[in-house]
Amino acid sequence: MVKKARPRNPKRIKDLKDKINDEMYLNKAIGRIALLLSEEILGQ
C-alpha cells in the first residue's frame, strides 16, 4: 500500500496549484525555463 505524503506547507502548495491553472503565469514560467536552458546549452 502506498501512502501519500502529508503536505509540509499547505498554503504554499495551494498557491502553486492556483498558479498552475493561470495561463499567463505558465507562459511566463515556461519562457523563463526555455531561456535558462538555451543559455546553458549555448554557454552564454
Domain range spanning residue 22?
10-42
Q: What's the structural domain count of the chain?
A: 1
> Which residue type is seen at 22?
D
The pTM of this model reads 0.61
Contacts of 19 (CB under 8 A, 6+ apart): 25, 26, 29
User: Is the sign of the CA dihedral 23, 29, 35, 41 positive or negative?
Assistant: negative
Q: Is residue 4 part of a domain?
A: no
What pLDDT shows up at residue 7? Answer: 62
Q: Is residue 3 included in any domain, yes or no? A: no
| pLDDT confidence bin for 4, thresholds 50/70/90 | confident
